[in-house]
């Protein structure tokens, strides 16, 4: 939670902005501007998001609407409740719960997270990706910034960031808001983001949680995660684990020996499923999915303390005096 800056909006839709969610050092890899905000009546607090400066607002709004439609059927997706604004200034909002992006979690903890917690976090995220992929949906925005930790477990935000950044056929390398360490080669070169790209990004997120880097040296990784992360980060999609369900099994199997074998190639069925995936609104209506939250990792004490501090600071924040809204009203000519 960071203080507002001079160039931040005082209002987004009906909400008064109170603080930034992301710290300045992490903003380069965040595909949207995220604010903690409150209704003008002071009754409702939300996380409200708007596109980055220079982003295509229409593509961003399409992904925001997709997240709103999809999130009720995927409980660990950030529950987008509202999508609003104009074609040039869209926004979306989710009910506020104390939440820290993964980079802030590492800051609060004081460095990389324990392997046991990383495995539990990975299992929760893999289960969510598996449910999304079963509905024909690729998240296409998984990165450390997209992983939002609450006291009750992780949420996934930044839905569709790669799709919003550029249309298929256009290189996405170097585009603002996309973490280069989380962008699979096929997506970076302009290919349609699919489940194999999510699996690549999953490996980068686990690497970040365990080392503080999305592209670490193998020796930096805990021994029990080296083979799994290395397989996920393969440049060739055929050499990555074949499905998110497989990732979940690998992270939760009771007999998990160091150096356990990771399948070297995906099945033909897995490859076909990967190329067929697309935005939620391209395919069939989402099917309700029930996820097992009983195994969600318990956040370390220092992270829980940071979440409590955020909540207390936000509760104590007073609504500022009314100023200009966002977007600014059009002037009559």
**Residue 262 and residue 149 in one domain:** yes
288 inside domain: no
User: How confident is the model over 9-33, as a mean pLDDT?
Assistant: 93
**Residue 274 and residue 306 in one domain:** no
Q: Which residue has the higher pLDDT, 211 or 266?
A: 211
Give 1's pLDDT tier (boundaries 50, 70, 90).
Answer: confident
Q: Token digits for 223?
A: 């021994």
Looking at residue 23, which CATH number applies to its domain?
3.30.200.20
**Residue 37 and residue 52 in one domain:** yes
52 inside domain: yes
308 inside domain: yes
**Residue 40 and residue 184 in one domain:** no
User: How confident is the model over 306-328, as a mean pLDDT?
Assistant: 77
291 inside domain: no
Q: In three state form, how does the secondary structure of 99-122 look?
A: CEEHHHHHHHHCCCCCHHHHHHHH
- Say what the pTM is: 0.85
User: How confident is the model over 44-59, as a mean pLDDT?
Assistant: 94
Mean pLDDT of all residues belonging to the chain: 86
- Mean pLDDT lowest for which of 36-50, 101-115, 188-202, 241-255? 241-255
CB 302 within 8 A of CB 110: yes
**Residue 230 and residue 109 in one domain:** yes
> Residues 143-180: pLDDT tens digits?
999 999 999 899 999 999 999 999 999 999 999 999 99
Range of the domain at 310: 11-98+301-316
**Residue 111 and residue 88 in one domain:** no
Looking at residue 120, which CATH number applies to its domain?
1.10.510.10
φ and ψ at residue 147, rounded to 5 degrees:
-90, 115
Task: Give residues with Cβ within 8 angstroms of 244, minimum separation 6.
Answer: 126, 127, 129, 130, 132, 133, 195, 198, 199, 202
Give the number of domains in the chain: 2
17 inside domain: yes
**Residue 134 and residue 277 in one domain:** yes
A 10 A CB-CB count for 209 gives 27
DSSP result, 132-185? HHHTTB-----SGGGEEEETTEEEE--TTHHHHHS-TTS--TT-TT--GGG--H
Statement: residue 39 has pLDDT above 90: yes
> Residues 89-135: pLDDT tens digits?
999 999 999 999 999 999 999 999 999 999 999 999 999 999 999 99
**What was the pLDDT predicted at 323?**
52
**Residue 105 and residue 233 in one domain:** yes
DSSP 314: H
Per-residue burial over 145-183, b = 16 or more CB atoms within 10 Å of its CB, e = otherwise? bbbbbbbebbbbbbbbbbbbbbeeeeebeebebbbebbb
Q: Which residue has the higher pLDDT, 68 or 263?
A: 68
Q: Token digits for 61?
A: 């709004």
Sheet holding 100-101, edge to edge: 100-101, 147-150, 153-156
194 inside domain: yes
DSSP result, 83-104? EEE-SSSEEEEEE----EEHHH
**Residue 65 and residue 130 in one domain:** no
pLDDT above 90 as % of the chain? 74
**Residue 76 and residue 125 in one domain:** no
5 inside domain: no
**Residue 42 and residue 168 in one domain:** no
322 inside domain: no
**Residue 65 and residue 197 in one domain:** no
Q: Token digits for 246?
A: 């497989």
């Amino acid at each position: 939670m960071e203080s507002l800056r001079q160039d931040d909006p005082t209002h987004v839709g009906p909400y008064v902005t109170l603080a930034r969610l992301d710290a300045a050092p992490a903003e380069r890899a965040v595909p949207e501007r995220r604010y903690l905000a409150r209704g003008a009546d002071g009754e409702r607090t939300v996380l409200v998001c708007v596109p980055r400066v220079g982003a295509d607002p229409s593509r961003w709004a399409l992904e925001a609407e997709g997240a709103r439609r999809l999130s009720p059927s995927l409980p660990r997706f950030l529950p987008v409740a509202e999508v609003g604004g104009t074609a040039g200034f869209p926004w979306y909002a989710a009910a506020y719960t104390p939440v820290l992006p993964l980079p802030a979690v590492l800051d609060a903890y004081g460095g990389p997270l324990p392997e046991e917690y990383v495995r539990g976090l990975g299992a929760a995220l893999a289960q969510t990706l598996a449910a999304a992929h079963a509905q024909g949906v690729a998240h296409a925005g998984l990165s450390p910034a997209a992983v939002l930790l609450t006291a009750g477990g992780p949420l996934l935000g930044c839905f569709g960031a790669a799709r919003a950044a550029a249309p298929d056929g256009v290189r996405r390398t170097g585009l603002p808001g996309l973490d280069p360490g989380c962008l699979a080669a096929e997506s970076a070169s302009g290919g349609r983001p699919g489940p194999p790209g999510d699996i690549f990004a999953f490996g980068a997120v686990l690497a970040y949680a365990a080392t503080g880097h999305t592209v670490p040296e193998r020796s930096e990784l805990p021994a029990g995660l080296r083979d799994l992360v290395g397989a996920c980060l393969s440049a060739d999609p055929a050499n990555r684990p074949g499905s998110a369900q497989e990732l979940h099994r690998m992270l939760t199997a009771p007999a998990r020996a160091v150096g356990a074998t990771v399948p070297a190639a995906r099945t033909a069925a897995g490859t076909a499923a990967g190329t067929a995936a697309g935005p939620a609104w391209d395919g069939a209506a989402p099917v309700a999915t029930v996820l097992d939250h009983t195994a969600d990792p318990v956040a370390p004490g220092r992270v829980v303390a940071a979440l409590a501090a955020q909540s207390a600071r936000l509760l104590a924040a007073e609504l500022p005096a009314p100023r200009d809204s966002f977007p600014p009203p059009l002037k009559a000519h």
